[in-house]
Chains A and B, each alone.
Chain A
Amino acid sequence: MNEAEFHGKSLMLRLASTLFAIFLAATPTISRADPAGDAFFEAKIRPVFVNHCYKCHSAQAKKLKGALHLDTREGLLKGGENGIVLTPGKPDESKLIQAVRYTNDDLKMPPKDQLSKETVADLEKWVAMGAPDPRGAVAAPVVAAPAKRHIDLDAGRKYWAFQPLAKGEPPAVKAGDRVRTPIDRFVFAKLEQKGLAPNGAASRTALIRRAYADLIGIPPTPAQVDAFVNDASPQAWEHVIDTLLASEHYGERWGRHWLDIVRFAESNGYEFDADRRGAFEYRDFVIRAFNGDMPYDQFIRWQIAGDKLLPGNYEAGAATGFLVAGPSPGQITAKTAEPLRYDQLDDMISTLGSSMLAVTIGCCRCHDHKFDPLPQRDYYRLISCFADTDATELKLDPKPEIYQVAEAKWKADHAPLVAEWEKFMHERLPERVQQWTREGFGVDPAPWRVLDFDRADVVVGGTPDMEKLKRLDDGSLLLENRAKRNETFTLVARTHARQITAMRIEALADKLMPKSGPGIGAKGEFLLTRFALRATPLNGNGAAVDVKLKSVRATPRAKGKKLVVGLDKNPGSGWSPAESGKDEAAIFEFDKPIDFNGGAELTLSLKFDSGIPFARPRIAIASAGASLMLEGESQPQAKGELAAMLEESNDQITAKNQAEIARWMRRIDSQTADAYVPVSKHLEKEPKEQFKNVFAAGVRGGRPVYFLGRGETNKKNGLAPPGFLEVLMTAPEQDERWTVKGQQTVSASKISAARERLLHPDAGSEVRRRAGSNVEESGSSEYLRTGVVNKFASYEVASKPTTQPVEPRVAMAKWITDTDSGAGQLLARVIVNRLWMHHMGRGIVATPNDFGVQGDAPSHLELLDWLAHDLISNGWHLKPLQKLIMTSAVYMEDGDATAANLAADPENKLFWRHPSQRLEAEAVRDSLLSVSGALQDTMYGPGTLDEASGRRSVYLTVKRSKPVLFMKVFDAPEAMQSIGERQVTTVATQALTLMNSPFVRTRAEQLALRARPKPDVDLDAAIAEAYRLAICRAPTAEETGRMHDFIERQGKTYAKNGTDTAFVDFCQALLCSDEFVYVD
């Protein structure tokens, strides 16, 4: 290869590497900086050396051959015992090349496996390039580790995606008469530069079908087509777009695009693929946000930190489903717990990077990004923002205002009832107590005093899902939902008894349990594994005591179970009965008596690690001197308590003990009880918040995040503090701007001034929004109910100059939407590109999830920036931008081709035509349902796995292990990672589904009935109606004739109802046709 050839051939490589060269520089510095060459070395040459040569020619070789080191630049240049092996620039003179060519019988390397032709060519090319080699003089310790290089962030900031938005004006064009929007100027200008012209406008029938498909994913009805086609007003097109943007179907369509991007699913994936109850709430949030045209920056902030920005808010909480939508394992072993946690963090940040910023930050888990200016430390600082984030179920009330109103009313109603009761306590209670004491107390001598619990909760399966144990008249507690396997009972009681020495738990039999219990196990068994009791003085004098046990004894027990419950912490041993259907009891004797003057609060915790509790416990205490019998008699708590309290207070009813005395009197005195009835009855009516279980991000654990070498958890390199992408920070104070409250008081004012200029270049009017500062948002439900945007926008006041750390996720949410010194401008570019892609069939950047060097360069950067700027200026509303795109002449082009355009720009990168597109799986299915009249309009709520359901496809449950077949066949992606652009395949299974599935055939039958409701309808008219319903146009005369012939011919082959069935066959063919499945 001569030099001219070489230059020609490497030109592509050099062009490709120009950007690369901007921000990657090799260290150690060699005077010839040749990043392109280094890149070539890393991509093509080093792997060859590592895989084929190092075994014998490196520091790691078991036996170094020929005294030749190929693992350092120095060694390579020095050569081995037979002299120099490499002459840079001259492949033919280099022994290295001769050896790999295998032409010299005495010199063949590698000796056993000849390198491929391509590899040899690469090596030749590399030597011809001058053998660029970024390696140092000392071999890298890890065999395949790339050379150490540093990332030049300042240079990186000059890369197009990370630069500030250009504020270019739409250029002037010659074809001014065709310009409908500023967009057209940008596109036409480029076409004119190449001497090309855009296509003419598509027909009205084509346009309306395109608009429906794009905005709502369902075809227009014949009436809707006619209305538009016959609407002569200049606003006709605009009107169609406005109507569609206002349709609730819009959110179902565009929400689904977003769900692809965020790998939304409703199950865990991995083993067992457990369902995520309440995961659909995120899907619903997305649909509502699109329908309400939520400002996109807020949409993003809520998904990252909605739970922290607006604690308790249903929408903002549901939005964080974004963070935890990724797959997660169903089984974790000790060895894998930590790596899996980093996997989970990786899933969050990779998805966030791809979906919101189109950066492939996930690449930096093991090393600095190979192409983009993203250092590895950024990766760990970013995931550190999620250190305490984990999936949880939030209990959130979608309509708290209903509760608040009801609660206020209830409180108002309740107050007089309480006043009445207090009046009773003042005026009548002393007399009632006196009467009871006069009657000689009637205190029961039984040794066991049954506790009357204030609180009796059951924590189910480790989740904070509380169930109550219901109190029965005999003082026992009934676990009402016995179907569930429960873990822990938490029981709280108060008592004024003194010198308490023991507790007895009776596990009572009950017909409601299997084999009458006393446990919920299949044989009536239970296994109590842990017992813990804490006593806290009621008057606050003295410390709480964790009671130690002296002994435990119980009625006859199951074999092999050691009765050490409460004495050990082993979750395997415990109290289990021997027989079913009998009452059982155990006595827990204390090491020291509980004895508090003024009473004690007893908190008892009973744990059933095996998940098999008893279902009707009765729990009693005994004081010193009582005989502690397993079968001993028990008494209710009330009389003993009253006696003890009155003794404490010398028979005085005081303000302090009044309520407590009244409480116990209610148990033994009917007049006191009656006086309380209005209060207790009204208490039952206390309104409750209508919580929904929302699968969302929650705070758990808060384990620290470390920098990891090569992404491996056994290579920790110190704690990673929260932080963001450095290349996307332009303010000098960097991280602190977002992570520390109050630091930026000064700059906040600068921000607002700058923002004001940006938003209102002409006037000093009020600042509409200040995304970059520290005040949180409010008023969500109002917005989502009414769609009124202004109520949502935050009008914040500059925060006080305190220096508190901001929650890292909140800080991240602010950084990412900060258009002044954070990532906000890139955020805008990325979403604008996605909108453009879905409308135009191709993004301005054709790789919507990757704006990095490896992605495609923007075809119209000025347009992209102009659109992004427009989005920010309009308060981040997507709908107006979409309307702008759709009213452009560019969008309205037809799909035809002229020879000149084809030759100059065959891929339509300049957008001179509107290409046709296959509908996505959801749109195909929804269109089938729609044209057959079977589409249901039920929105929101739990989805379904039933493919035959009439609901829109966005409501099909996304279960990772069980994709709905129709969706899978038509390329719906697996929800494992962010998908920016769906693949479109054309495979036989799609044809099989359309030909043979009962779902499609049923749709054809329904369509046939719509087009031809009665057999006496004229066949040609019915054919025309079917065309109009299915593909939104009338058939040509020729088509009508052909279909007519088919139906008659095919009809004769059926024994009965031939025409009807043949008409269905024809309708099905229409539903299988390209025209149905494609737009344009």
Chain B
Amino acid sequence: METKPFNPSLILPTPNRRAFLRRAGMGAGSLALTQLLHQQGLLSSTARGALPQASAANPMAPKAPHFRPKAKAVIWLFMTGSPSQVDTFDYKPELQKRSGQPLAGADPKTGFFTTSGKILKSPFAFKQHGDSGSWVSEILPHTAKFVDDMAFIHSAYTKANNHAPGAFEIGSGVMRPGRPCMGSWITYGLGTQSQNLPAFVVMHETKPRGEDAIWSAGFLPKNYQALAIDSRNPKPIADLDRLQTLTDAQQRSQLDLLGQVNREHRDHHPLETELTARIESFELAYRMQTSAPEAFDIANESAATKELYGVGNKDCDVFGKQCLTARRLVERGVRFVQIFAGRGVGGDGSVGDVPWDAHSNIETNHRSCGKATDQPTAGLLADLKARGLLEDTLVIWSGEFGRTSDSQGSIGRDHNPNAFTLWMAGGGVKGGVHYGATDEFGYKAVENRVDVHDLHATILHLMGIDHERLTYRFNGRDYRLTDLSGSLIREIIA
């Protein structure tokens, strides 16, 4: 084995590395992790050469999962505003039969406003689809073609009954802002596969209610935070474009100068390992100037592909573009993509930041939200499947919570934290299965109830992470995404 001169920077913890060790938990105790990092440091100086390793010097390097993952990436289609379970996937004949009658056990203060306590039937026709015979309402005809790829969870519930707290809860496990969201946890746990792109990308149009706090990295270091792409902003990544005054060659020569200056400084400060990372960060930034726009540019996609996603279709152009971009990102190694359905999705009576929020008219609202998301969703599934990506890409469809089975006003539905349906597809989940159930009116989850921690535990599991061992020490406590609970929904795992 080739030997190299001893370089203390490779094994010595810097202040940051020290803090990192103290806080990080990926199953190993911090002592063991120290040893691990020492080993890795030594390895990187010898046999493994330039292969990036998880360390404080490069916290974004890919890290070994706890066990073999079934999914490499997640695309979360967030149905902002909360679709109604009984008007999409949770078909309830009793609800249809007994419209207008009092809903037994109804609590008019379940949601944000006050509901009537009277049953409101779904205005939509339901049909069974696929080999699994899964029920889907008429508003999602394209999505319905993929029910045999989906694992439905009909018994999800939340604590929160309003949008921002709900988005915080389903994102981070706690209905307050300030905790890291799942995308950040996963990035922290697994690092990034794509060194030229962020590991975690959020796409939105209007910002959902709760705004950036929904995809916050919380107390995790900032390198695990999301890159948020506003579809209305032609320059999604700040300061990505080279200054207009410089040509590529001029910038290159400026950066070469800087590199020389910084290397010299680093050589005088061998103990400060992050200086090496800093030199690399300028090179990465330089590369990102070309690699990132390429990843976000759908211009070169074929007309057929665009059509598949509904790009150019006025009903669903925005969401279609976002879904198509999500596929491109996942192809390039991005781990976690979250798309928040935005203004373009909004239907009658809804507000842009919560399009599915059908308080006043479930029919017009959901019909229009369906139009705006259905074809892109199906297009994404079809495209992922065709490219062999669905196998290890987990697609999730969910809102913040559900909607009431009794009416708000005469034809609207209020928020309902007690029951909602979500589905997952690909990435190691079974197809065509239905887990959990609501009561006969779809009002409350009654069988195999699934809370947000269970959901998170399951998603982390699919990503190869044991949710109990992914911890981070902050203000004296080892935090987990799943707090003190969370159990796997084994029944949906393939």
- A974 contact set on B, CB distance < 8 A: 178, 213, 216, 218
A845 vs chain B, min Cβ distance (A):
11
Extra contacts, 11 of them, besides A974-B178, A976-B216 (Cβ < 8 A), are A144-B485, A897-B270, A902-B8, A906-B11, A915-B271, A961-B213, A977-B475, A992-B289, A995-B242, A1001-B243, A1069-B257
Docked complex Cα distance between A354 and B178 (Å): 16
Q: Are A995 and B251 in contact (CB under 8 A)?
A: yes
When C-beta atoms are compared, the residue in chain A nearest to B66 turns out to be A116
Binds A, one of B116-124, B275-283, B326-334: B275-283
Contact residue among A334, A906, A997, A1042 (Cβ-Cβ distance under 8 Å from B260): A1042
Among B15, B207, B255, B274, point to the contact of A995 (Cβ < 8 A): B255
Q: Does A389 have its Cβ within 8 Å of any Cβ on chain B?
A: no
Whether, in the assembled complex, A593 has its beta carbon less than 8 Å from a beta carbon of chain B, the answer is: no
Partner of A987, one of B110, B177, B222, B246: B222
Q: B238 contacts the other chain (Cβ, under 8 Å)?
A: yes
CB interface residues, A 698-737, toward B, < 8 Å: none
Is residue A681 within 8 Å, beta carbon to beta carbon, of the partner chain? no
A1054-1072 toward B: CB 8 Å interface, digit per residue (1/0)? 1000000100011011101
Given A118-B27, A354-B475, A974-B178, A271 and B266 contact (CB-CB distance below 8 Å): no
Chain B residue numbers with a CB within 8 Å of A1042 are 257, 260
In whole angstroms, how far apart are the Cα atoms of A855 and B271 in the complex?
25
**Interface segment out of the listed A429-437, A532-540, A558-566, A1045-1053:** A1045-1053
Candidates A329, A336, A983; contact of B16 at CB < 8 Å: A983
Contact at B218–A976, with CB atoms within 8 Å? yes
List which B437-494 residues lie within 8 A (CB) of chain A: 466, 468-469, 473, 475-478, 484-485, 487-488, 490
Residues of A within 8 A of B247 (CB): 1053
Provide a sorted-by-A list of 24 A–B residue pairs whose CB atoms are within 8 angstroms: A116-B66, A270-B164, A271-B210, A334-B109, A849-B476, A895-B271, A902-B12, A906-B13, A915-B271, A915-B272, A961-B211, A976-B213, A981-B19, A986-B281, A992-B237, A992-B285, A996-B242, A998-B243, A1043-B257, A1049-B253, A1050-B253, A1066-B257, A1070-B261, A1075-B261
Encode contact with B along A960-993: 1 for CB under 8 Å, 0 otherwise. Answer: 1111010011010010111111011111111111
Residues of A close to B240: CB separation below 8 A: 992, 996
B14 to chain A, nearest CB (A): 8
Query: In the complex, how many angstroms separate the beta carbon of A988 from the nearest chain B beta carbon?
Result: 4
Assess the B161–A335 pair: CB atoms within 8 A: yes
Q: Does B387 contact A (CB under 8 A)?
A: no
Say whether, besides A895-B269, A915-B272, A965-B238, A1073 and B258 are in contact (CB < 8 Å): yes
Please name all residues of chain A whose beta carbon is closer than 8 Å to the beta carbon of B253 when the two chains form the complex.
1046, 1049-1050, 1053
Interface centre among A968, A987, A1061 (most CB of B within 10 A): A987
Q: Are B112 and A271 in contact (CB under 8 A)?
A: no
Query: Are B490 and A991 within 8 A (Cβ)?
Result: no
Contact in complex: B59, A985 (CB < 8 Å): yes
Q: Are B281 and A269 in contact (CB under 8 A)?
A: no
Q: Judging by beta carbons under 8 Å apart, are B476 and A855 in contact?
A: yes
Residue of B nearest to A848 (CB): B475
- Decide: B251 and A897 in contact? CB cutoff 8 A: no
B230–chain A nearest beta-carbon distance, Å: 13
User: Are B261 and A854 in contact (CB-based, < 8 A)?
Assistant: no
Q: Contact between A1069 and B258 (Cβ–Cβ < 8 Å)?
A: yes
Q: Does B250 contact A (CB under 8 A)?
A: yes
Instruction: State whether A329 touches B258 (Cβ < 8 A).
Output: no
Q: CA A850 – CA B469 in complex, angstroms?
A: 22
Residues of chain B lying within 8 A (CB to CB) of residue A47: 468
Please give me the residue from chain B that is nearest to A1001 by CB atom: B243
- The 8 Å CB contact of A850, one of B59, B288, B475, is B475
B476 and A1074 contacting across the interface, CB-CB below 8 Å? no
**Contacting pair B261 A327 (CB below 8 A):** no
The list of the 9 closest CB pairs from A to B, nearest first, reads A976-B178, A850-B476, A360-B476, A991-B285, A271-B164, A961-B211, A996-B239, A988-B284, A988-B285
Chain B 225-244 residues near chain A, CB threshold 8 A: 237-243
A1050–B211 CA distance with the chains assembled, in angstroms: 44
Given contacts A854-B473, A985-B59, A1072-B282, contact A1065 B272 (CB under 8 A): no
- Provide the B152-188 mask, 1 if CB < 8 A to any CB of A, else 0: 0000000011111100000000001110000000000
* B254 interfacial by beta-carbon distance below 8 Å: yes
Interface band, chain A: 35 or more
* Interface positions of A (Cβ within 8 A of B): 12, 47, 51, 112-113, 116, 118, 144, 269-273, 327, 329-331, 333-336, 343, 350, 354, 360, 362-363, 841-842, 846-847, 849-850, 852, 854-856, 895, 897, 902, 906-907, 915-918, 960-963, 965, 968-969, 971, 974, 976-981, 983-993, 995-998, 1001, 1042-1043, 1046, 1049-1050, 1053-1054, 1061, 1065-1066, 1068-1070, 1072-1075, 1078
Nearest CB of chain A from residue B225's CB, rounded to whole Å: 8
Cβ of A1046: which chain B residues have Cβ within 8 Å of it?
253, 257
Distance in angstroms from A692 CB to nearest chain B CB is 28
Q: Is the CB of B476 within 8 A of A1050?
A: no
Cα distance A363–B478 when bound, in Å?
A: 11
Is B111 on the interface with A (CB-CB < 8 A)?
Answer: yes
Give, as a whole number of angstroms, the nearest-CB distance from A229 to chain B: 20
With a CB–CB cut-off of 8 A, which chain B residues contact A1043? Answer: 257
Task: Please tell me if B145 contacts chain A, counting CB pairs below 8 Å.
Answer: no
Query: Is B209 an interface position by the 8 A CB rule?
Result: yes
Contact residues of A: prevailing secondary structure: loop
Q: Which residues of B contact A916 (CB under 8 A)?
A: 269, 272
Q: Are B222 and A997 in contact (CB under 8 A)?
A: no
- Do A335 and B109 have beta carbons less than 8 Å apart? yes
Q: Find out whether the CB atom of A12 lies under 8 angstroms from the CB atom of B31.
A: yes
Give min CB distance, B144 to chain A, whole Å.
Answer: 32
Q: What's the Cα separation between A271 and B207 when bound, in Å?
A: 10
The reply to whether B285 and A360 contact each other, CB–CB distance below 8 Å, is no
Cβ A363 vs Cβ B477 within 8 A: yes
User: How near does chain B come to A270, taking the closest CB pair, in angstroms?
Assistant: 5
CA distance A983 to B218 in the complex (A): 12
Determine the distance from Cα of A770 to Cα of B219 in the docked complex, in whole angstroms.
39
Bound CA span A221–B76, Å: 52
| Given A116-B466, A1069-B261, A983 contacting B19 (CB threshold 8 A) | yes
| A980 engages B16 (CB within 8 Å) | no
Q: Does A986 lie within 8 Å of B162, measured CB to CB?
A: no
How long is the Cα–Cα vector from A991 to B258 in the complex, in angstroms?
11
On chain B, the residues within 8 Å of A336 by CB distance are 160-162, 165
Bound-state CA distance A813–B255 (Å) is: 54
Q: Given known contacts A327-B176, A327-B178, A915-B271, is B238 in contact with A983 (CB within 8 Å)?
A: no
Chain A residue with Cβ nearest B261: A1073
**Which of chain A's residues have a CB closer than 8 A to the CB of B478?**
854
Q: How far is the CB of A53 from chain B (nearest CB, A)?
A: 13
Residue of B nearest to A52 (CB): B487
Query: Are B16 and A984 touching (Cβ within 8 A)?
Result: yes
A93 to chain B, nearest CB (A): 28
| Residue B223 CB within 8 A of the other chain | yes
Provide the B58-72 mask, 1 if CB < 8 A to any CB of A, else 0: 011000001100000
A335, A977, A1053, A1070: the one within 8 Å of B250 (CB): A1053
With A363-B476, A846-B18 in contact, do A329 and B164 touch (Cβ < 8 Å)?
yes
Residues of A within 8 A of B250 (CB): 1050, 1053-1054, 1065
Q: Which residues of B contact A271 (CB under 8 A)?
A: 162-164, 209-210
B221 within 8 A of A: yes
**Cβ distance B222 to chain A, nearest Cβ, rounded Å:** 5
Find chain B residues with CB under 8 A from A979 CB: 219
Q: Which of A974, A1049, A1078 is most buried by chain B, counting CB atoms within 10 A of its CB?
A: A974
Compute how far the CA of A988 lies from the CA of B58 in the bound complex, rounded to whole angstroms.
11
A-chain residues with CB within 8 Å of residue B164 when the two chains form the complex: 270-271, 329-331
**Interfacial chain B residues near A842, Cβ < 8 Å:** 15, 18
Complex partner residue of B223 from A269, A331, A850, A985, CB under 8 angstroms: A985
- A988 in contact with B288 (CB, 8 Å): yes
Residues on B with C-beta less than 8 A from A996 are: 239-243, 289
Q: Is the CB of B258 within 8 A of A1072?
A: yes
Question: Contacts A327-B176, A1066-B257: A897 and B239 contacting too (C-beta < 8 A)?
Answer: no
